[in-house]
């Protein structure tokens, strides 16, 4: 069994981009929800753009911060490499390059996602269509995931898909937490105010975790529990601990298949056994922001180490 380095890289990035399309759509949804439930305050879009990692790009293009511009930027602007339309296009370009490693079902799901979304986003999206378009993005990503889960062999090819997906997801959750970390800081002044409740809810909605949180911790939203939930909870599929564990598992499968452990395995071990082993109180003590910056750095080095170890480019 052989897999080209280029193919492994293409799969990894294809799934990173697909994951990103869904994450970005969810953030637009959260931003829109805030706009609808609060007195109109376009400042909130700054943090939405930051959480999506595209604030600087937006600022370079637009002078004013406006809801409709932000939505357009995040969903369909070709100048934004992380807009939903851009990442779906890039995911599909990658899929074309690695076509021979995909099943027909997965390829068609990606290709159809591209065809459908390109059409749905051909023009600026009005408020009335926004929900439908966002639903379409989530649905299309789910189709690809379903086809992947249902038809791909569980071999190294699958491992690279999963590595891409969980790397992107961990990065996204860490970024959301980081952008909102000041909300979670146990500062006494704002606690209990209406503003905070909405802000906390925003965090959970950004990761589709509001329902799960309530099941786990009840109606009361508390910063410590939210942080615990999104950092440590091993049942929450978007938590850092969950993603880190999946990254380790998939790297272990690769080690088993190839009969070799690489430097990537050390990086992922450090992520799981050191970074995430700190209890939540200790994390708050030494600074949530510092922890998250450190964690994001760890994800970045894992990403570049995987690229080197498995010969994506050289």
Partner 1 sequence: MSDSATFDEMWGHGETPRAPYTAIEGWFSQEDPGRLRRKAREAEALFRLTGITFNVYGDKAAGERLIPFDIVPRVISGREWDRLSRGIEQRVRAINAFLHDIYHRQEILRAGRVPVEAIARNAAFLPEMIGVDPPGGVYTHIVGTDLVRTDEDEFYVLEDNARTPSGVSYMLENRETMLAMFPELFMKTRVRQVSSYPAMLHRSLCASAPGHANGKPVVAVLTPGSFNSAYYEHSFLADKMGVELVEGHDLRVVDGRLAMRTTQGYQPIDVLYRRVDDDWIDPLNFNPDSALGVPGIMDVYRAGGLTLANAPGTGIADDKAIYSYMPEIVEFYTGEKAILKNVPTWRCAEKEALAYVLDNLSELVVKEVHGSGGYGMLIGPAASKKELSAFRDKLKARPGNYIAQPTLSLSTVPIFTRAGLAPRHVDLRPFVLVSPEGVTITPGGLTRVALKKGSLVVNSSQGGGTKDTWVLEE
- Contact residues for partner 1, defined by CB under 8 A: 2-8, 93, 96-97, 99-100, 107-108, 111-112, 115, 156, 258, 260, 310-311, 314
Measured from the CB atom, is 10 or 57 closer to partner 1? Answer: 10
**Least distance between partner 1 and beta carbon 8 (Å):** 5
Measured from the CB atom, is 6 or 263 closer to partner 1? Answer: 6
Measured from the CB atom, is 288 or 306 closer to partner 1? Answer: 306
CA dihedral 32, 35, 38, 40 (to 10 degrees): 180
What residues have CB less than 8 Å from 141, skipping those under 6 apart?
18, 19, 21, 22, 113
- Distance CA(224)–CA(226), nearest Å, equals 5
**Least distance between partner 1 and beta carbon 263 (Å):** 14
**Least distance between partner 1 and beta carbon 161 (Å):** 13
Measured from the CB atom, is 39 or 100 closer to partner 1? Answer: 100
| Per-residue DSSP letter, 161 | H
- SS3 state of residue 63: coil
- Distance CA(289)–CA(183), nearest Å, equals 11
**Least distance between partner 1 and beta carbon 2 (Å):** 5
**Least distance between partner 1 and beta carbon 128 (Å):** 27
What residues have CB less than 8 Å from 312, skipping those under 6 apart?
5, 6, 8, 9, 12, 306
| Per-residue DSSP letter, 124 | P
Measured from the CB atom, is 29 or 156 closer to partner 1? Answer: 156
The terminus-to-terminus CA distance of the chain in angstroms comes to: 20
- Distance CA(24)–CA(242), nearest Å, equals 20
Measured from the CB atom, is 54 or 303 closer to partner 1? Answer: 303
- Distance CA(1)–CA(3), nearest Å, equals 7
- Distance CA(284)–CA(184), nearest Å, equals 9
**Least distance between partner 1 and beta carbon 9 (Å):** 9
Measured from the CB atom, is 57 or 164 closer to partner 1? Answer: 164
Measured from the CB atom, is 93 or 196 closer to partner 1? Answer: 93
**Least distance between partner 1 and beta carbon 4 (Å):** 6
Given a contact cutoff of 8 angstroms between Cβ atoms, the answer to whether 234 and 241 are in contact is yes
Q: In terms of C-beta density within 10 A (0-12 exposed, 13-18 middle, 19 or more buried), how is residue 234 classed?
A: exposed
How distant is the alpha carbon of residue 185 from its chain centre?
Answer: 23
**Least distance between partner 1 and beta carbon 279 (Å):** 37
């Amino acid at each position: 069994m052989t897999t080209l380095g280029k193919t492994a890289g293409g799969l990894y990035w294809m799934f990173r981009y697909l994951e990103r399309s869904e994450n970005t759509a969810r953030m637009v949804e959260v931003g829109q929800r805030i706009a609808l439930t609060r007195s109109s305050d376009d400042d909130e879009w700054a943090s939405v753009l930051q959480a999506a990692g595209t604030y600087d790009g937006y600022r370079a293009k637009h002078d004013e911060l406006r809801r409709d511009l932000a939505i357009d930027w995040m969903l369909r602007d070709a100048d934004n490499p992380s807009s939903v339309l851009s990442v779906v296009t890039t995911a599909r370009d990658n899929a074309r390059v690695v076509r021979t490693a995909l099943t027909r079902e997965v390829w068609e799901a990606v290709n159809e996602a591209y065809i459908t979304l390109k059409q749905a986003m051909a023009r600026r999206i009005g408020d009335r269509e926004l929900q439908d378009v966002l639903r379409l993005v989530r649905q299309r990503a789910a189709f690809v995931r379903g086809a992947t889960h249902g038809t791909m062999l569980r071999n190294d090819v699958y491992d690279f898909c999963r590595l891409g997906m969980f790397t992107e997801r961990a990065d996204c959750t860490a970024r959301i937490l980081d952008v909102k970390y000041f909300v979670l800081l146990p500062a006494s002044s704002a606690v209990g105010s209406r503003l905070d409740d909405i802000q906390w809810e925003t965090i959970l909605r950004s990761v589709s975790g509001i329902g799960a949180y309530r099941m786990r911790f009840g109606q009361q939203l508390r910063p410590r529990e939210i942080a615990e939930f999104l950092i440590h909870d091993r049942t929450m599929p978007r938590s850092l601990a969950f993603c880190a564990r999946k990254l380790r598992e998939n790297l272990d499968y690769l080690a088993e298949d190839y009969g070799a452990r690489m430097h990537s395995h050390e990086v992922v071990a450090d992520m799981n056994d050191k970074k995430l082993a700190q209890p939540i109180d200790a994390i708050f003590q030494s600074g949530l922001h510092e922890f998250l910056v450190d964690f994001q750095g760890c994800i970045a080095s894992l990403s570049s180490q995987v690229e080197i170890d498995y010969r994506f480019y050289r």
